[in-house]
Homo-oligomer: A and B are copies of this chain.
Amino acid sequence: MSEQRKGMLLVISGPSGTGKGTLIKRLMKEDASLVFSVSATTRAPRPGETDGVDYHFVTMERFEELIAQEAFVEHAHVHGNRYGTLRSEVYERLARGENVVLDIDVQGALNVIASEKEKVSIFVLPPSLKALRERLTGRGTETPEAIETRLHNAIWELTQKDKYQYNVINDDLDTCVKALQGIIEAQKHSTTYYTVEVPEE
C-alpha cells in the first residue's frame, strides 16, 4: 500500500532541570525518524556541551544579527541569556518529511505554539519542586542564586502546562520515555501527518 507522512514539529519543553535533554537523547537513539533542531544561544557552554551539537554558541552581537536577518522561528530571554530556534534547523527538514525535535524553554515554546499551525507540544514536568531543586543542585553548574532564579521561574512555567497538548511527568525515566514514544507513535498515525491509500491487491 502507499503511505505518506509529513514531517512533524515536536516541541518538547518544561522548566530547567526536568531532564528534557536526557529524555530527548533516549528518544532520538531509538527512533531514526527524529532529528534535533540545534538552538542558538548566547549562554556559555556547560561542561560536556559541544558547539553545533548541543547549541550553536554565539555572541550577543551575532545573535542580534540573526534577529535582524529574520533567521529565527522564535527567540526569548531566559535567565539572562538569549535562546533562539533557527529557521534553517526546522522548515527544510519538515519539508523533507523529517520529524524535528525542539528542546526549548517555556517562553519559546509558547511562541511556537502560537505561531505554528501544526505542532506537537509536550510539557515535561518534574515530580515535585523538591526534586527539581535537587536536580538543579546536582548538576553542579549553577550558583545558588541561579538555582533560586530557575526555581522561581519554574513556578510560573508550571502554570503554563495546560497550553500544551501533552503533559508528561519525568519521575521514572523509562515510564516517561514510553509516554513520549506513545505520543510520537500516535502522531505517526494521525491524519494530520499521515495519508494512506488502500490498494486493490
- A168 surroundings in chain B (CB, below 8 A): 189
Q: Are B186 and A166 in contact (CB under 8 A)?
A: yes
User: Which residues between 149 and 201 of chain A lie within 8 Å of chain B, taking CB atoms?
Assistant: 158, 161-162, 164-169, 171, 178-179, 181-191, 194-196, 198-201
User: How many angstroms from the CA of A168 to the CA of B76 in the assembled complex?
Assistant: 39
Query: CB of A125 within 8 A of chain B?
Result: yes
Query: CB of A130 within 8 A of chain B?
Result: yes
A192 → chain B, closest Cβ, in Å? 8
User: How many angstroms from the CA of A125 to the CA of B181 in the assembled complex?
Assistant: 22
A135 → chain B, closest Cβ, in Å? 13
Residues of A bordering B, CB below 8 Å: 1, 3, 122, 125-130, 158, 161-162, 164-169, 171, 178-179, 181-191, 194-196, 198-201
